[in-house]
Amino acid sequence: MQQSILMLFLGLLAISTIVFTYVYQSSQKATDLDRGMANPLKSRFWFLLILFVILGIFASVTIPKSPYYFYADETPSRVVHVAAKQFAFVLSNNAIDPKNPVGENAIELLENELVEFRVTSFDVNHGFAIYNKAGQLIAQTQAMPGYVNKLRWKFSEPGAYSILCLEYCGMAHQIMRSSFTVK
Ligand SMILES: [Cu+2]
């Protein structure tokens, strides 16, 4: 998956370079009247070429590091269903019924097991953000109505983790939180 996206990107980069080179070559066929444009066109060519190369390097380094690829090849040993609703999170080991969203009170995960959070929303967009005891953001995804976003993570430290809404979702957004434990 990472490889194919990288290849796709490099392909697009190659195509845009070819198109650009073609346009640049065509722009050389200027008449005497246009000759004054030659130098600015040349500067622009180098400026854009350097820009493309820099953007290309940045994208090919950062895109494969996107969290969407984390643990993509492993099968999660644990699935936690998450439903966000103004202004609370419902967490459950089983699929959550939108008509009767009831979760479990205490979700316990194991240290270093691969957990897949399946995150959705029953009203507006919310953020599903996991913080450790020190208040550091560990992982996050959006909770969107009509979509299930999968977030895979391995918790290397046992302890209590907090879930906070990371997207302003209404008047009581700031009280929207939950928690779980890693043993
Ligand atoms: Cu919110």
ω into residue 87 within 30 of 0, thus cis?
Answer: yes
Q: How far is the CA of 138 from the centre of ligand 1 (A)?
A: 18
pLDDT at 83: 96
Residue 50 CA to ligand 1 centre (angstroms): 41
Query: How far is the C-alpha of 108 from the C-alpha of 160, rounded, in Å?
Result: 9
Whether the pTM exceeds 0.75: the reply is no
pLDDT at 80: 97
**List of residues 6+ apart from 139 with CB closer than 8 A:** 67, 129, 130, 151, 153
Ligand 1 centroid to 78 CA: how many Å?
26
d(CA 169, ligand 1 centre) in Å: 4
- From first to last of its 183 residues, the chain has per-residue pLDDT tens of 778 888 889 999 999 999 999 888 877 665 655 666 677 888 889 999 999 999 999 999 988 887 777 888 899 999 999 999 999 999 999 999 989 888 888 899 999 999 999 999 999 999 999 999 999 999 999 999 999 999 999 999 999 999 999 999 999 999 999 999 999
**What does the pLDDT read at residue 180?**
96
How many angstroms is it from 105 CA to the middle of ligand 1?
20
Of 159, 167, 164, which is closest to residue 177 (Cα–Cα)?
164
CA of 139 to the centre of ligand 1 (A): 16
C-alpha of residue 16 to centroid of ligand 1, in Å: 40
Q: Which two tokens stand for residue 105?
A: 């009170």
Question: Residue 140 has what pLDDT?
Answer: 94
- Inter-residue contact 124 to 169 (CB < 8 Å): yes
Residue 32: per-residue pLDDT: 56
Q: Is 43 in contact with 24 (CB distance < 8 Å)?
A: no
pLDDT score of 1: 72
CA 181 to chain centre: 24
Q: How far apart are CA 139 and CA 118, in angstroms?
A: 13
3-state SS of 164-180 is ECCCCCCCCHHHCEEEE
CA of 22 to the centre of ligand 1 (A): 49
Ligand 1 midpoint to CA 171 (Å): 9
Ligand 1 centroid–CA 110 distance in Å is: 27
**CA-CA distance, 23 to 35, in Å (whole number)?**
16
What CA–CA distance (Å, rounded) separates 74 from 133? 27
Ligand 1 midpoint to CA 165 (Å): 4
- Look at residue 123 in the predicted model and tell me its pLDDT: 94
